[in-house]
């Protein structure tokens, strides 16, 4: 069993509905959805967060509850337009430890963003004939897990476990990979939320020896095309704030910066701040003729 364990929990009664994830590895309590009596919901979350493992609370909220949450001490850190079936989603946070709240590299991350915004957009590169771009299958799980293990010394989910990758594939996550002579050199995924019709572009990685080839642009564009086929138009991504390359890729693909999640998760080699980027995929296809309706 992976040490990166967690537990999904639902609270349902006559007054409230709360869907949450207890993330033991990243020491977070994540409230993925809620509705009902907001006062009771906040009280339940506050009590829930007293568990020893919780250092950070993250609540994904609709617009109408943002002010109430802020009045109870939650900080608005990011947003994703269209997250809830076209309605905007807001990420509000509260901290239980001062070390989790403080971020020593915030100003450095601001400078990285400034450099990203000043960078000129680059055109997509044509793939060499010896490269194969395709949607991954469950039979690729072992190779993907080894690939990710090589790229990421630390990752917030057990992506080095092929069984985890298979579980993700079977629960609405689409992996796209790029191969050279049968070896994976880059990969990314789209984690689709079928309930609210959004997708997170995640698990983006390229072998160090193959970086600066523009491959991630191509992978994400292919994932976006797959999302549009499924009528999922809200696409967002959460990137390491210290990574110029990944933030530059998202900016180049016309994603918009929507905030930063402080000390959000363990990734690469430590706990890090994560930038949130979002994109409305319907705008990319607004000028294209609609497909004929099925008869």
pLDDT at residue 290, as a whole number: 39
pLDDT at residue 287, as a whole number: 40
Domain boundaries, the chain: 6-101, 106-284
pLDDT at residue 293, as a whole number: 42
Domains 6-101 and 106-284 in one fold = yes
CB-based contact 196:84 (threshold 8 Å) = yes
Question: Residue 248 CA to chain centroid, in angstroms?
Answer: 16
pLDDT at residue 121, as a whole number: 87
pLDDT at residue 288, as a whole number: 45
Q: Name the CA dihedral angle for 132, 278, 269, 210, rounded to a multiple of 10 degrees.
A: 30
For the structural domain made of 6-101, what CATH number should be given? 3.40.630.30
Report the share of the chain in percent with pLDDT over 70.
95
From CA 54, how far away is CA 46, in angstroms rounded?
A: 11
From CA 150, how far away is CA 102, in angstroms rounded?
A: 30
Computed over every residue of the chain, the mean pLDDT equals 93
From CA 98, how far away is CA 89, in angstroms rounded?
A: 26
Angle in degrees, 0-180, between the axes of helices 162-169 and 141-151, rounded to the nearest 10:
120
From CA 250, how far away is CA 119, in angstroms rounded?
A: 12
pLDDT at residue 2, as a whole number: 53
pLDDT at residue 23, as a whole number: 96
Low-confidence ranges of the chain (pLDDT < 70): 1-3, 285-295
Fold observed for domain 106-284: Aminopeptidase (3.40.630)
pLDDT at residue 190, as a whole number: 98
């Amino acid at each position: 069993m992976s040490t990166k364990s967690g537990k999904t929990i639902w609270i349902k009664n006559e007054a409230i509905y709360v869907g949450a994830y207890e993330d033991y590895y990243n020491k977070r309590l994540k409230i993925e959805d809620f509705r009902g009596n907001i006062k009771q919901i906040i009280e339940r979350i506050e009590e829930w967060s007293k568990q020893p493992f919780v250092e950070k609370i993250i609540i994904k909220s609709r617009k109408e509850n943002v002010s109430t949450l802020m009045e109870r001490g939650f900080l608005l850190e990011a947003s994703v337009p269209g997250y809830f079936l076209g309605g905007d989603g807001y990420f509000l946070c509260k901290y239980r430890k001062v070390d989790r709240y403080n971020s020593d590299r915030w100003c450095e991350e601001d400078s990285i963003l400034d450099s990203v915004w000043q960078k000129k957009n680059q055109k997509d590169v044509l793939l060499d004939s010896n490269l194969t771009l395709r949607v991954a299958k469950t039979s690729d799980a072992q190779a993907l897990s080894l690939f990710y293990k090589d790229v990421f010394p630390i990752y917030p989910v057990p992506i080095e476990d092929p069984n985890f990758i298979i579980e993700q594939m079977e629960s609405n996550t689409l992996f796209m990979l790029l191969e050279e002579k049968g070896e994976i050199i880059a990969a990314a995924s789209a984690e689709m939320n079928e309930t609210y019709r959004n997708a997170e572009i995640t698990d983006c990685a390229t072998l160090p020896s193959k970086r600066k080839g523009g491959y991630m642009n191509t992978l994400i564009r292919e994932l976006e095309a797959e999302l549009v086929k499924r009528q999922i138009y809200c696409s967002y991504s959460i990137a390491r704030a210290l990574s110029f390359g990944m933030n530059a890729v998202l900016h180049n693909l016309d994603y918009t910066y929507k905030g930063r999640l402080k000390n959000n998760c363990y990734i690469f080699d430590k706990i890090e701040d994560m930038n949130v980027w979002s994109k409305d995929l319907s705008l990319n296809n607004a000028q294209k003729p609609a497909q004929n309706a099925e008869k």
